[in-house]
C-alpha cells in the first residue's frame, strides 16, 4: 500500500499574490498539478492534499479528480501539524510518502527510489547545496549515519556550515509515522511542529534512516517568490529542450522554446526560435515550424509547414499543408493534405479538403470546403447574423474570385466560379459563373472636393 500526502497549505506571502502559492504555474500547469502528476505515476492507493490558505481555490483547481482527498490545516502550525491532519484519510498500512506542492520538479524515478528505500526503515530525500541557507541540515554521526535534522533558525554556526540539506520529502511506514506524529512538540524557535523531528525519533528507536539523492539537484528546488518561479521555469524548459534534441528534433535555439503541456515529435522535425506549444501538440515526421508560432492542442501531419507568426488553436493540419505566415487557425479547423492557408487568413470551425487554398486576407468561418478549391483574396464567409451562426458549403473544384462575400447559410455547387466582388445571397449552381456586379459608370465633369481656404 502507498499513501501520498501533499502539503499545500502555505500562503506564499513572498509571491505577493491573492492566489495560493501552489496554484502558481510552471510550464502552463500549476505547481500542484506537477506534483500530483508525479505522485500518480507511482500508482498510490490514496492521495491526500493538505490545504490551508485558499483551500476553496485549491479544491476547485482539482475538481473532477476523484482520486484525491483533502484535509484542512487551520491554523497552520508547521509541517508536522499539516501531516497530522492528513493521517485520518490515508490507508492505515504500507508506506506514506510526503511531498510538497511548491516543489514541482521532483522526478518519478527519484520518488520511486525513495519509496523503495523506505521499505527498510525511514527514507529521506537529501541534496548537497553550495548555498544551503534556509534549509534544514542533515546532522550525521562519526559513522556517517543521519542522527537528526536541524532547522536553519535552530542551528549552531557549525551546523549551519553543513551543506547536505533535508528537502523535507520523505517516505516511511504509515504505522511508524502515526506513532511519531503523536509525539511531536513545538519547543523550537518558530513554535511549530516540525515533521523533521521524526528523524530523531527514528534514530532513538534504532530505525534505519536511509538517504536518497535526486538525479539532479534542481529536482528539490522549491518556489517561495517570483524569482524562484522564473528560475524553475527556465530549468524546466531547458530540460524539455534537451529531451527534444536527444529525440532527434532540430531546435534553432534550445533556449528559445516554450512547452506548456506535451509535445510529441516525429523524425526530422525543425522548430525555429520563439515558438510556444500549449496543451497537447503532435508534430509528425518532417514538420517545419517557423519562428514565433503559437500552437495549442494541435496535430500537424507529415511534411507540413507552419510559417512565421502563425497562431493555431485546437486544429488539425494535413500532410504537406502550408500555413502562414501570419495565419490564424481557430478551434475546429481541419486542413486536408497539401492545403494552403496564407498570410492574414483566419479559419474557424471549418474543414478544407485536399489541395484547397486561401492564400491571403480572407476569413473562412463555419464552412465546409471541398477539394481543390481556390478562395481568392478578401473573401469572407458571412456566418453570423447577429444572433446565430450559419454554415457555408463550398463543393469540390470551386473558384472564388477576390473580394467575395458568401452570406450563409449558402451552398456553392461543384466546379462553380464566383466572379470577383460577388456578394452571394443564394446558392450558386454547379459548373456555372455567378457574379453580382453593378454596371461601371464614369461621371463626366466631376470634380474632386478641395479643402476650403480658412484664411
Q: Which residues are designated catalytic?
A: 360
C-beta of residue 301 within 8 angstroms of C-beta of residue 288: no
Cell of residue 352, nine digits: 478544407
429: enclosing H helix or E strand: none
152: enclosing H helix or E strand: none
263: enclosing H helix or E strand: strand 257-265
Q: Which of 409, 408, 411 is nearest to 429 (CA)?
A: 411
- Sheet strands (E) in 370-413: 374-375, 380-382, 392-394, 399-400, 405-407, 410-412
- What is the Cα–Cα distance from 74 to 83, expressed in whole angstroms? 12
DSSP 189-224: TT----TTHHHHHHHHTT--EEEE--SSGGGG---S
The sign of the torsion formed by the CA atoms of 252, 254, 258, 261 equals: positive
| Phi, psi at 10, each rounded to 5° | -70, 150
Is 147 exposed, middle or buried (CB count within 10 Å of its CB: 0-12, 13-18, 19+)? middle
Pairing of strands 122-128, 164-173: antiparallel
C-beta of residue 295 within 8 angstroms of C-beta of residue 312: yes
Q: Which of 194, 199, 190 is nearest to 170 (CA)?
A: 199
- What is the Cα–Cα distance from 363 to 153, expressed in whole angstroms? 63
- What is the Cα–Cα distance from 102 to 232, expressed in whole angstroms? 11
Find where cell 500549476 sits.
30
| Phi, psi at 39, each rounded to 5° | -65, -45
C-beta of residue 265 within 8 angstroms of C-beta of residue 250: no
C-beta of residue 151 within 8 angstroms of C-beta of residue 168: no
Amino acid at each position: 500500500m502507498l499513501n501520498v500526502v501533499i502539503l499545500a497549505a502555505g500562503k506564499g506571502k513572498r509571491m505577493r499574490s491573492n492566489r495560493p502559492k501552489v496554484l502558481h504555474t510552471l510550464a502552463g500547469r500549476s505547481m500542484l498539478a506537477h506534483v500530483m502528476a508525479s505522485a500518480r505515476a507511482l500508482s498510490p492507493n490514496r492521495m491526500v492534499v493538505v490545504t490551508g490558505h485558499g483551500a476553496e481555490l485549491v479544491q476547485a483547481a482539482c475538481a473532477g479528480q476523484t482520486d484525491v482527498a483533502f484535509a484542512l490545516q487551520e491554523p497552520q502550525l508547521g509541517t508536522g501539524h499539516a501531516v497530522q491532519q492528513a493521517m485520518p484519510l490515508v490507508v492505515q498500512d504500507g508506506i506514506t510518502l510526503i511531498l510538497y506542492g511548491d516543489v514541482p520538479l521532483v522526478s518519478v524515478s527519484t520518488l520511486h527510489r525513495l519509496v523503495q528505500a523506505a521499505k527498510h526503515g525511514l527514507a529521506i530525500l537529501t541534496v548537497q547545496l553550495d548555498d544551503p541557507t534556509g534549509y534544514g541540515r542533515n546532522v550525521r554521526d562519526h559513522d556517517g549515519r543521519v542522527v537528526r535534522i536541524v532547522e536553519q533558525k535552530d542551528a549552531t554556526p557549525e551546523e549551519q556550515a553543513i551543506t547536505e540539506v533535508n528537502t523535507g520529502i520523505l517516505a516511511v511506514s504509515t504505522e511508524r509515522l502515526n506513532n511519531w506524529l503523536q509525539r511531536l512538540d513545538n519547543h523550537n524557535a518558530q513554535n511549530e511542529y516540525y515533521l523533521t523531528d521524526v528523524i530523531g525519533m527514528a534514530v532513538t528507536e534504532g530505525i534505519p534512516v536511509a538517504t536518497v539523492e535526486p538525479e539532479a539537484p534542481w529536482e528539490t528546488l522549491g518556489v517561495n517568490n517570483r524569482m524562484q518561479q522564473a528560475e524553475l521555469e527556465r530549468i524546466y524548459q531547458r530540460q524539455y529542450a534537451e529531451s527534444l534534441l536527444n529525440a532527434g528534433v532540430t531546435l534553432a535555439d534550445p533556449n528559445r522554446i516554450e512547452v506548456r503541456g506535451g509535445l510529441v515529435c516525429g523524425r526530422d522535425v525543425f522548430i525555429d526560435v520563439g515558438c510556444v506549444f500549449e496543451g497537447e501538440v503532435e508534430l509528425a515526421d518532417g514538420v517545419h515550424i517557423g519562428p514565433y508560432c503559437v500552437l495549442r492542442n494541435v496535430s500537424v501531419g507529415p511534411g507540413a509547414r507552419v510559417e512565421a507568426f502563425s497562431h493555431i488553436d485546437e486544429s488539425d493540419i494535413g500532410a504537406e499543408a502550408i500555413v502562414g505566415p501570419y495565419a490564424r487557425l481557430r478551434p475546429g479547423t481541419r486542413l486536408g493534405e497539401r492545403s494552403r492557408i496564407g498570410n492574414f487568413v483566419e479559419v474557424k470551425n471549418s474543414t478544407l479538403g485536399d489541395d484547397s487554398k486561401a492564400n491571403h486576407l480572407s476569413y473562412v468561418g463555419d464552412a465546409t470546403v471541398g477539394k481543390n478549391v481556390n478562395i481568392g483574396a478578401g473573401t469572407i464567409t458571412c456566418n453570423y447574423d447577429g444572433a446565430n451562426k450559419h454554415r457555408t458549403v463550398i463543393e469540390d473544384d470551386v473558384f472564388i474570385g477576390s473580394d467575395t462575400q458568401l452570406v450563409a447559410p449558402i451552398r456553392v455547387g461543384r466546379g462553380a466560379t464566383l466572379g470577383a466582388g460577388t456578394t452571394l445571397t443564394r446558392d450558386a449552381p454547379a459548373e456555372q459563373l455567378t457574379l453580382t456586379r453593378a454596371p461601371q459608370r464614369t461621371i463626366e465633369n466631376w470634380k474632386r472636393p478641395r479643402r476650403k481656404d480658412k484664411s
